[in-house]
Structure 1
Amino acid sequence: MSASSGRAPTKASGTITVFGLALLNITAVVSLNDLPSEAEYGLSSVTYFLFAAVFFLVPVSLVAAELATGWPEKGGVFRWVGEAFRGRLGFMAMFLLWVQVCVFVPTSLTFGAVALAYINPDESEAQSLAGTPAFVLGVVLVVFWIALLVALRGTGGYATMAKWGGVVGVFVPITVLVGFAVAYAVAGNVPEMDVAWGELLPDFAGLSTVVLAASIFLMYAGMEMNAVHVKEVDNPTRNYPIAIFLSAIVTVLVFVLGALAIAWIVPRRDINLTEAILVTYIDVFRWAGIPWASSVLAVMLAVGVLVNVTTWAAGPSTGLLAVARAGYLPRAFHRTNRHGAAVTIMVLQGCIVTLVSILFVLLPSVQSAYQILNQLANILYLTVYLLMFTSVIRLRYTQRDRPRPFRLGRSNTLVWVVAGAGLLASSLAYVLSFVPPDQINVGSPGLYVGILVAATLVMYALPNLVYQFRAPSWDTADPDFEPFTWERPRAG
C-alpha cells in the first residue's frame, strides 16, 4: 500500500483493533496436531510452554513488528534478512521458510489422515487403519493436492475457507476437548498423569528426555506473519504489544489446557503422536454417553488440517515469488496464473511434498517418520528465526536512522534483551532437535541423526548453490519489488 498525503494514513492506521490483531495472531499460530508430543511430559509441559512463550513467542512477535514497520516493502523475511546481511542470506532465509513448509505439510496431513481414520467409531479398526502407511500416504497426497488447487485460485480461493475453517477445525474442537476434560476431572476420575507440584519441574536427566519439548517452538511459529498489519493498528507503539501479550496468553492457555487434557485422560504409555488426541475424544465422549460425537470431531479436525495446509502452501510461495522476481531464481519461477498465484513454485512444492511423503512408507513406522519430518521442519524454521533475531540487532547499527513506527525502546538495550532471549532459546531448541527422543522408537539412533544432519545440510546448500550460479537474465527488474537499501545509489 502506497503512502498518501492528508488524513488517509491516520484513518488507515486504526482499521485493526487490539482484539482483532490478537485474534489474527491466535488463528495463525494455534494448531492441535502437536499437542500429543507435549502431553508426553504431563504437568511439566506447563513449564515448557511458558518458557517457550516468554523466550520465543513474545520475542518473535516484537522483533517482527519492528522489522515489518521499518521495512514494509515486499519480501517479508527475505527483505529483513537481506537488508541486514545482503542477498545471499536473505534468499536462504526465504528458501528455508518455503521448504520447511514442504517438510512440515506431510506431518500436519498425517494428523488429518488419522482424524479421517477415526471417523470409524470402532477404535480398534480406526487404529489399524491409522497405522497403515498406504492409507496415510494416500490421504496426505490427495488432500494436499486439493489444498494446492485451492491455493492456486489466489487469495479469493481460500480466504473464506480459512476464516470459517479456523473456527470449525481449531476453536470448536479445542473448546470441546478442554470443556469435556474439565467435566471428566470434576466428576472425580483418576488422572493418568502425576499431578504433584514437583512434576512442574522438567526432568533434565538427559537431553533425549526433553527433545520433544523443542517442538513447542514450532508450535508457536507463525506469529511474525501478522506483523505486516502493525501499521494498520491505531497507536502501534502502545497497542501492538498489548495485542501480542493478549494473543500469547490465549495461545499458551489453549496449548497448556489441551496437552493437560490429553495427559489427564490417556495413559502416558498409550500416547501416540498421531492418535492421542483422537483417543482422548473417544474416551471423554464414551464417558459422557455420546460416543458418536467422536466421529463429528474427527471430521472437524480434518477440516482444520486442510485449511491450515492451504494457508501455509500459499503464503511462503508468494514470498518466494518475490525472491524469484528480484532476480534470484530462473524466469520459469516468475510465472503466475490469472489469479496471481505462483504456479511454477506451487507445483514444485507439490512435487517435493509428494516425494517427502513417500518416506512414510520407507521408514519403520508412521510415528517415526512423523518425528523425523517434524524435527527437520523445526530445524529449518529455527534457522530462519536465528537469522531474523540477528538481523534486527544488526540493522539497529547499520540503518540506525531508518524510521520505525514500532520500535523496541529508544536505545539498543531492549532490542538486545528481547532478540538475545530469542537467540538463546532458538539455539537451545535447534541443538535439541538433532537428538533422538527417548519417548519414541525411531529405529537406529545413528540413522535418525544421520538423516536429519544430511537433510539439513542439503537444504542449506541448495539456496547457496542457486545464488552462486544465478544468471543476469533472471532479473526482470520487477517494478513491484523495491531494491534493497544497499542497492540504491547514494545521494550526492
Structure 2
Amino acid sequence: MEADNFNLEPDKKHFMSWPVIALIDFVTIISFENIFYPFQNQGLSVVVSWIFLFVSYVVPYALISSQMSLTFDNQEGGLASWVRRSTNDTLGYWTSWMYWVQSVPYIVDVSNSVIVSFSWIILGDNRLGKRMSTASFGLLTFIIILLFILLENRLKNSLEILSLIGGGAMFIMSMLFVLLAGYAIMHGHPIATQPFNLAAFKPSFSLNYFSTTGLLIFAMSGAELAAPYVSQMRNPKRDFPKAMWMLAIMTGFLTIFGTLALAMFFNAHHIPHDFKMNGPYYAFQLLGHSLGWGDTLMYIFAVVQAIFMMAQLAVLLDASSRVFAGDVADKFMPKWLTKKDKHGRPIHSYTTTAGLSLFLLLLTGTLPNINTIYNWLLNVNGIISPYKTCWVFFAFIAMRWHEERYHSDYVFIKNRKAALGVGWWCFIFTFVCATLGFIPQNVELGTHAFNHQLLLNIITVVVLFGLGFLLPWLRKREEAKQA
C-alpha cells in the first residue's frame, strides 16, 4: 500500500480499480466447470465455436454493457434499470422478473454441485450416483437450499468474502490446469484426442450442434453484472471499458485454451457419460497422476469447488430475492410479497424462491438417475439464461434507437446504423439459441427420454416465466379490495 493511503480522510471515497472489477465479474460469470459441458456436447469443434463467439459476441456484449453502464451510471438496478429507463416500467418489470426467475434453476444446479463436491471430498471418486437415489439427491438439495435461506442473516457477509476467496482460488485453479496441462504435454504426456489435426476442429452443423449453443451463451454471459460498480470507479469513462475488455479476453482465454487442455486428457470422440457432473474432478485427477502427484490436485479442487459453490449459493439466494422484491415498480408487486422481517429481508421472496426450487426438484424426480438430473438442469439454464440475456441487447437497441435522448461518456460504435445492426445480431442470435435449447441433449430424437425431457423443458419455462403474469394480477386484486 502506498504511504499516502495511510492518511485517508474518513469521508474520502474509496475507488475500485478496473482490474478488480474485471476479476469480480469474471469469477461471478464463469468458472472452470463451464468449459466441460460444451466440450461434451460439441467435442473439439467447440474451440471453433468459442473463437467465433469471442469475436462476434463476447466482445460486442462486453462493450455494449460498457455503454449501457455508463449511460445509466446513476442506477443501481443494473439490467432492469437499463430496460426501464430506455423503454417503460412494464418492460422493466418483466426484466426484473426474468432476471430473478432465471436464477432459480441455477440455484438448484449450484446446490447439486455442492453435493457432488462433498461426495468427491468424502468418497474420492464418482460413486455418488450408485450410492444415492434420485429422491435422496433431490431431498438433500432442497435441505441445502432451505439451510442457506435460514442462515442468510448470519452467513451472508462472511460468505460474500468467501465467494471472492473461493472465486479467486477457482480462477487460479483454472489457469493452473491450463498451464500444467501444457507442461505435461511438453514433457511427454500423450494427447488423448486423436487424430489431433485441423479436421478434428471442424464443426458438424447438426441439430445437436445448434441446440447446444445456448449453453455456451449461458457460460459466457453476465458482463452486465459489473454495472453497479461504475459509480465506484475514479474515471469510469476511461477505465470501465478497460475492465470489460479484460473480462472478454480472460473469458476467451479460459474457454479456448481450457478446451484445448481438456483435449489433452480426454478423447473428444469418447467422452465419459457423466462428464458434465464429474469431469472437473476427472481432469484434476488425471493431471495429478500425469505429474506424479496422485489425487492431491483433485482434492484441492474439490475443496475449492465446495467453498465457491456454497458462497455462490448464499449470494445468489440473497441477491435474487432482494432484487425481486425491491427493484420493481409498486403497481406490479403484491404487498405480501414485499413484506420484510426485522432484518429488512423480504421473507416471502425467500419462500417463493424455495417453492420454485421445490417445483424444479419435483420435476427432476421423474428422471432416471442423478447424472441425468444434473445434465437436465444445465440444459434448462441454457434455455432460460439466454432469454434473460436478450434484455441486454433489447435495452441497447432501444437506447440507440433514440440515442438523442441519452448521454454516455462511452459510445460503442459511433455510427448509429452499425450499432443497431450489431445489437440486432446479438439479440436475434441469443433468442434463437435459447429457443433451440428446448431440444433435449444427450438423448436420441424420438425416444421416450427425448419426449420426456422436451415436455419438462416446456413445463419449466412456461411455469417460471408464466408466473410473471400472476403477480400484477394479484396486485390489482389487492388494490380493488382496498378501494
Fold conserved (TM > 0.5)?
Answer: yes
Mapped to 1, the partners of 2:156 and 2:442 lie a distance apart of 42
Which of 284, 287, 290 is equivalent to 1:287? 290
User: What amino acid maps onto 1:413 in structure 2?
Assistant: K
User: What amino acid maps onto 1:276 in structure 2?
Assistant: G
- Residue equivalent to 2:84: 82
- Residue equivalent to 2:51: 50
Note the 1:155-174 alignment, pairs <5 A.
156-168=157-169, 170-174=170-174
CA contact (8 A) 1:337 1:343 kept: yes
User: What amino acid maps onto 2:461 in structure 1?
Assistant: T
Which of 465, 468, 472 is equivalent to 1:463? 468
Note the 1:191-210 alignment, pairs <5 A.
191-194=191-194, 195-204=196-205, 206-210=206-210
Note the 1:298-447 alignment, pairs <5 A.
298-324=302-328, 326-398=330-402, 400-438=404-442, 443-447=448-452
Note the 1:77-226 alignment, pairs <5 A.
77-120=79-122, 123=125, 125=127, 128-129=130-131, 132-153=133-154, 156-168=157-169, 170-194=170-194, 195-204=196-205, 206-226=206-226
Q: Quote the offset at 1:460 in angstroms.
A: 3.0
CA contact (8 A) 1:325 1:334 kept: no
Q: Secondary structure at the match of 2:191?
A: coil
User: What amino acid maps onto 1:450 in structure 2?
Assistant: L
Q: Secondary structure at the match of 2:350?
A: helix
Q: Secondary structure at the match of 1:112?
A: helix
CA contact (8 A) 2:214 2:430 kept: no
* CA pair 385-46 structure 1, distance change in 2 beyond 3 A: same
CA contact (8 A) 1:153 1:339 kept: no
Mapped to 1, the partners of 2:149 and 2:327 lie a distance apart of 20
* CA pair 338-161 structure 1, distance change in 2 beyond 3 A: farther
1:245-275, CA deviations, whole angstroms, 9 ceiling, x for partnerless residues? 1121112212333333333213433152101
Equivalent pairs counted in the alignment come to 462
Which deviates further from its counterpart, 207-216 or 95-104? 207-216
Which deviates further from its counterpart, 431-440 or 389-398? 431-440
* CA pair 149-350 structure 1, distance change in 2 beyond 3 A: same
Mapped to 1, the partners of 2:245 and 2:151 lie a distance apart of 33
Which deviates further from its counterpart, 275-284 or 458-467? 458-467
Mapped to 1, the partners of 2:320 and 2:387 lie a distance apart of 15
1:392-441, CA deviations, whole angstroms, 9 ceiling, x for partnerless residues? 22233446323323333444234314322321321231132122225789
CA contact (8 A) 1:105 1:309 kept: yes
Which residues of structure 1 form unaligned runs of 5+? 1-7, 476-492
Q: Quote the offset at 1:443 in angstroms.
A: 4.9
* CA pair 132-55 structure 1, distance change in 2 beyond 3 A: farther
- Residue equivalent to 1:59: 60
CA contact (8 A) 1:70 1:405 kept: yes
CA contact (8 A) 1:69 1:406 kept: yes
Mapped to 1, the partners of 2:383 and 2:391 lie a distance apart of 13
1:191-243, CA deviations, whole angstroms, 9 ceiling, x for partnerless residues? 22242122223111x21134333301111122211122224334433332222
Q: Quote the offset at 1:32 in angstroms.
A: 2.8
Mapped to 2, the partners of 1:140 and 1:236 lie a distance apart of 41
CA contact (8 A) 1:360 1:369 kept: yes
Mapped to 1, the partners of 2:310 and 2:26 lie a distance apart of 17
User: What amino acid maps onto 2:213 in structure 1?
Assistant: A
User: What amino acid maps onto 1:102 in structure 2?
Assistant: V
CA contact (8 A) 1:436 1:445 kept: yes
Q: TM-score, normalised by structure 2?
A: 0.85
- Residue equivalent to 2:3: none
Mapped to 2, the partners of 1:443 and 1:302 lie a distance apart of 35
1:9-58, CA deviations, whole angstroms, 9 ceiling, x for partnerless residues? xx86x922222222122122122333221222343222222223333333
CA contact (8 A) 1:103 1:377 kept: yes
CA contact (8 A) 2:112 2:141 kept: yes
RMSD across aligned positions (CA): 3.0
Mapped to 2, the partners of 1:30 and 1:360 lie a distance apart of 25
* CA pair 470-407 structure 1, distance change in 2 beyond 3 A: farther
CA contact (8 A) 2:438 2:454 kept: yes
Which of 269, 275, 278 is equivalent to 1:275? 278
* CA pair 292-188 structure 1, distance change in 2 beyond 3 A: closer
Mapped to 2, the partners of 1:474 and 1:60 lie a distance apart of 40
Mapped to 2, the partners of 1:128 and 1:307 lie a distance apart of 27
1:30-88, CA deviations, whole angstroms, 9 ceiling, x for partnerless residues? 22333221222343222222223333333333333333333333433322223344333
Which residues of structure 2 form unaligned runs of 5+? 1-8
Q: Quote the offset at 1:157 in angstroms.
A: 4.6
Mapped to 1, the partners of 2:388 and 2:85 lie a distance apart of 14
CA contact (8 A) 1:110 1:274 kept: no
Mapped to 1, the partners of 2:234 and 2:201 lie a distance apart of 39
CA contact (8 A) 2:60 2:422 kept: yes
- Residue equivalent to 2:6: none
User: What amino acid maps onto 2:240 in structure 1?
Assistant: Y
CA contact (8 A) 2:78 2:224 kept: no
User: What amino acid maps onto 2:282 in structure 1?
Assistant: V
1:272-291, CA deviations, whole angstroms, 9 ceiling, x for partnerless residues? 21011111222222333333
User: What amino acid maps onto 1:404 in structure 2?
Assistant: S
Q: TM-score, normalised by structure 1?
A: 0.84
* CA pair 409-276 structure 1, distance change in 2 beyond 3 A: closer
Mapped to 2, the partners of 1:324 and 1:231 lie a distance apart of 21
Which deviates further from its counterpart, 58-67 or 304-313? 58-67
User: What amino acid maps onto 1:290 in structure 2?
Assistant: W
Which deviates further from its counterpart, 263-272 or 86-95? 263-272
Q: Secondary structure at the match of 2:404?
A: coil
Mapped to 2, the partners of 1:271 and 1:186 lie a distance apart of 29
User: What amino acid maps onto 2:292 in structure 1?
Assistant: G
